[in-house]
Amino acid sequence: MNIYDKALQFIKIRPHSSGELKKKLTLRGFNVEEVQEVTETLKSQGLIDDSAYAENYLAELIRNKTFGFYGLLAKLLQRGIEKTEAERVLKEQLSQEVEKSIALKLVGRKDWNKLKLAQTLSRKGFRTQVISTIIQNLDATSLPDA
């Protein structure tokens, strides 16, 4: 199977970013120049669109997962999205209010003490301002001190 057909096979299964596709093709033994050429061809044909992919993937993550800004950024980077593109999409789609609502979904799942909640939110990539706001705004009786 040639490199173009293999790339199309991957794209038929699910959408891919150009970085993700390059990685998969390189791991299959195709040479870097060929991989670059095929991904550029697929971009020009409209079969790969990193911007649309990033927007759709981020919307899915926001809807289904409980990650903060930095956690979502890491997920986008893992999928081969350029850092500048990932940050642009995050700034457009993830306001602090949206991030707070995601954090509150996580908070509602169990009883937390303040320290454990702050650690969990931090580990999931929430911004410091969001963590502070969540901790300060919660009822003192529902969150005992550590």
Total count of residues recorded for the chain: 146
pLDDT of residue 111: 79
What are the residue boundaries of the structural domains of the chain, listed by start?
A: 1-48, 96-137
Per-residue pLDDT reduced to its tens digit, 11-48: 999 999 999 999 999 999 999 999 999 999 999 999 99
136 contacts 121 by C-beta, under 8 angstroms: no
- Which residues make Cβ contacts (< 8 Å) with residue 80, sequence separation at least 6? 16, 17, 18, 19, 20, 21, 22, 23
User: Tell me, which fold does domain 1-48 have in CATH?
Assistant: Arc Repressor Mutant, subunit A (1.10.10)
pLDDT at 143 over 60: no
Which residue type sits at 36?
Answer: Q
Residue 144 has pLDDT above 50, yes or no: no
pTM of the model: 0.85
pLDDT tens track for 127-136: 999 999 999 8
User: Tokens 């300060």 sit at which residue?
Assistant: 136
